[in-house]
Structure 1
Amino acid sequence: MLELKNLTKYYGKRLILDNINLTVNDGEIVSIVGPSGGGKTTLLRCISGLESISSGEILIDASPFDPYRNTTNESVIGVVFQEFQLFPHLSVLDNITLAPKMVLKHGKAKAEEDAQKLLDRLSLGNKGHLYPYQLSGGQKQRVAIARALAMNPKILCYDEPTSALDPALRQEVEDLILSLKRDGMTQIVVTHDVPFAENIADKMLKVKPLED
């Protein structure tokens, strides 16, 4: 279980997030929705450790946890970025196995075996040898998800997972997120797409820009 208690974030003197409280139970999908400038992505970056928080507390299973300063090899929180951020010079398989080999210290054979299982699961079984430029937007999205899952996170976060996709691929991502829920994955989804959020979420957190 993830808990945010009075999470506050400033950039300089500008207040971005003001005393956010949120509980995400194991296996839940929580959607964070709101207009641009409301702090959705900043909140996700704080949860995932890409940004430090100014004050407040983050807890995992009732124990204080600072994702920004997490120095263990354990990937507690994984992130699927809006622009995928795949390495263009690496194959699909290498994109997925890089972090498990470098961070988790998995051997090449194990990392590739685990990656292939993820590719098969995400209907990308024959794409491991391809490079990102050879993939469609939907395929890149699934590779990004596979890369995050390869680190065995307890919680998986998405930043605007449907923003660059057409309606058919949007449905594909929705189905994938729900299938991961059936497998017990806890997920947090930042999106401006309210109908999409309503379709997938067990609960929603609405954020809005703070007045100056």
Structure 2
Amino acid sequence: MLEIKNLKKSFSGRVILDNMNVTVKDREVLSIVGPSGAGKTTLLRCITGLEKADSGEFLIDGQSFNPQGTDTSDSVIGVVFQDFNLFPHLSVFDNITLAPTMVLKKDKNEAKAEAENLLAELGLKGKGDLYPFQLSGGQKQRVAIARALAMHPKILCYDEPTSALDPNLRREVEKLILGLKQDGMTQLVVTHDMEFAKNIADDILEVSSLDKLNQK
């Protein structure tokens, strides 16, 4: 279980998150919704260590951890970015295996075998030798998910996973997230799409203003 206590974050004196408390239960999906500029992505970036919180506490299963601490957070929080952030000069296999081999010190053959299994599970069997420019938007997203899962995170976070997808692909993302939930993955999803949020979430966190969050 992820717990965030009294989180504060401001930019140039402007308060974005103020004394926020959030709980993400094990094996559940939390959707974070709200208008643009209300702090959804800032919250996600603080949780994943991409932004440093001004103050607050982060706990996993009751144990304090630092999202920016590479020794602990690399295998705790995984993130799928809105624009996927795949390395264009690397193949799908190399995109997925880079972090496990460099950070987790996995054997290259072991990492590639795991990548093959992940691609098969995500409907991308046989795509490992392709490059990002050869993939559709939906395929790039699944590669980004495979890359995050290869680090064996306890929690997987998504930033606007349906923003660039048509309705059919949005339904595929819903199935993907719900399938990962059945496999036991705890997930946190930032989205502006309330219908999508309701379809996938066990709980919804609505960002109602720049400095106030209400968990429903």
Per the alignment, residue 97 of structure 2 pairs with 97
Greater CA drift, 177-186 or 70-79: 70-79
Instruction: Tell me whether 1:3 sits opposite 2:23 in the alignment.
Output: no
Query: Displacement of 1:77 after TM fit?
Result: 0.2
| Length-normalised TM-score, structure 1 | 0.97
What is the CA–CA distance in structure 1 between the aligned matches of 2:36 and 2:156, rounded to whole Å? 22
What is the CA–CA distance in structure 2 between the aligned matches of 1:149 and 1:130, rounded to whole Å? 19
Query: Displacement of 1:63 after TM fit?
Result: 1.3
- The amino acid of 2:200's aligned partner reads I
Name the count of aligned residue pairs: 211
| SS of 1:95 mapped into structure 2 | helix
Query: Displacement of 1:64 after TM fit?
Result: 1.2
- The amino acid of 2:84's aligned partner reads F
| SS of 1:17 mapped into structure 2 | strand
User: Which structure 2 residues correspond to residues 1-212 of structure 1 after superposition, within 5 A?
Assistant: 1-72=1-72, 74-210=74-210
Answer whether contact 2:48 2:67 (CA < 8 A) is retained: yes
Answer whether contact 1:32 1:189 (CA < 8 A) is retained: yes
How many percent of aligned residue pairs carry the same amino acid? 69
Query: Displacement of 1:68 after TM fit?
Result: 1.5
What is the CA–CA distance in structure 2 between the aligned matches of 1:159 and 1:176, rounded to whole Å? 15
Greater CA drift, 108-117 or 5-14: 5-14
Answer whether contact 2:67 2:73 (CA < 8 A) is retained: no
Greater CA drift, 41-50 or 72-81: 72-81
| Length-normalised TM-score, structure 2 | 0.95
| SS of 1:120 mapped into structure 2 | helix
Deviation per CA, 1:114-140: give whole Å up to 9, x if none.
000000000101100100000001000
Q: 5+ residue gaps in structure 1?
A: none
- The amino acid of 2:201's aligned partner reads A
Answer whether contact 1:37 1:208 (CA < 8 A) is retained: no
What is the CA–CA distance in structure 1 between the aligned matches of 2:206 and 2:73, rounded to whole Å? 32
Greater CA drift, 8-17 or 181-190: 8-17
What is the CA–CA distance in structure 1 between the aligned matches of 2:126 and 2:197, rounded to whole Å? 31
Deviation per CA, 1:137-193: give whole Å up to 9, x if none.
100010000000000000000000000100000000000000000000000000000
Answer whether contact 1:73 1:104 (CA < 8 A) is retained: no
Could you say what the CA RMSD is over the residues aligned between the two structures, in angstroms?
1.1
Query: Displacement of 1:65 after TM fit?
Result: 1.2
